[in-house]
């Protein structure tokens, strides 16, 4: 893994592959996990927030279009897996409305602290952030309508098994949406760590989900949906 930030294992903060990204001094720690790529740990949320929530990100991440593709309706419950500093949370919170619920999930306690403070600061009463384990989303069976996984899927070690856990967490009619980097993207993880949409579809299928590619028009990323049958 290069020094250009990409990783967090299960919970890569969402903008971790933003352009011009480099680790703030003294805050990025390297770990190996299960033979996977060298990764940064994002233990200091405030140090990363400027990068992950840079307004310039909107141009390539297109959060409005991504959230629209999820097909959210008022009252739904949605989980943002690997939510980092909570870049997508305000968009998701608006989409599900006051009667809905948004869960920001991350393995880093400091990111979760930051997200909960952000929710209070921005008046997002329907948002709650939680620390989750490395090997699963920590969601009750049938408890969520949608799961959004942005720039995180390629760092999950046992993806088919993880997909099965996500399937169990989905309510009837629910779906997982994986947003990750195209092979030819100008930024993101090194090419050897990127996954093709076909590979993601295969992993979701092995987890018992019905996968499709969703055209959201993102310049650097693809979107694969896995629906609960």
Spell out the domains of the chain, with CATH numbers in brackets. 56-227 (3.40.50.150)
The answer to pTM > 0.75 is yes
Give residue 213's pLDDT. Answer: 98
Cα–Cα distance measured from residue 184 to residue 169, given in angstroms and rounded to the nearest whole number? 32
Mean pLDDT across the chain, nearest whole number?
82
- Whether 6 shows a pLDDT value over 50: the answer reads no
Q: Residue holding tokens 């947003």?
A: 179
Burial class (CB in 10 A: 0-12, 13-18, 19+), 195: buried
pLDDT for the residue 187:
76
pLDDT one-digit tens code per residue, 81-124: 999 999 999 999 999 999 999 999 999 999 999 999 999 999 99
For residue 20, pLDDT over 50 is answered with: no
pLDDT tens per residue, range 173-187: 999 999 999 999 987
What would the pLDDT profile of 21-68 be if each residue is shown by its tens digit? 333 333 333 233 333 333 445 556 565 555 566 666 878 889 999 999
Kindly give the interhelix angle for 159-169 and 197-206, rounded to the nearest 10 degrees.
Answer: 60
Q: What is the DSSP pairing of strand 170-181 with strand 210-214?
A: unpaired
């Amino acid at each position: 893994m290069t020094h250009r930030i990409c990783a967090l294992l299960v919970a890569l903060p969402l903008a971790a592959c933003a352009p011009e990204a480099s680790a703030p001094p003294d805050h990025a720690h390297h770990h190996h996990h299960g033979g996977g790529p060298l990764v940064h740990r994002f233990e200091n949320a405030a140090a990363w927030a400027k990068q992950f929530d840079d307004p310039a990100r909107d141009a390539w991440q297109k959060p409005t279009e991504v959230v629209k593709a999820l097909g959210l309706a008022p009252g739904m419950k949605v989980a943002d897996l690997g939510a980092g500093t909570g870049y997508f949370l305000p968009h998701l919170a608006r989409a599900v409305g006051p009667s809905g619920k948004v869960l920001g999930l991350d393995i880093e306690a400091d990111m979760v602290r930051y997200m909960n403070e952000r929710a209070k600061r921005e008046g997002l009463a329907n948002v709650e952030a939680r620390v989750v384990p490395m090997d699963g989303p920590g969601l009750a069976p049938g408890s969520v309508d949608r799961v959004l996984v942005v720039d995180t899927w390629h760092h999950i070690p046992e993806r088919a098994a993880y997909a099965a856990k996500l399937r169990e967490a989905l309510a009837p009619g629910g779906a997982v949406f994986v947003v990750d980097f195209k092979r030819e993207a100008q930024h993101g993880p090194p090419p050897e760590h990127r996954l093709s949409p076909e590979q993601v579809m295969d992993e979701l299928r092995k987890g018992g989900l019905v996968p499709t590619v969703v055209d959201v028009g993102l310049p650097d990323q693809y979107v694969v949906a896995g629906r609960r049958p």
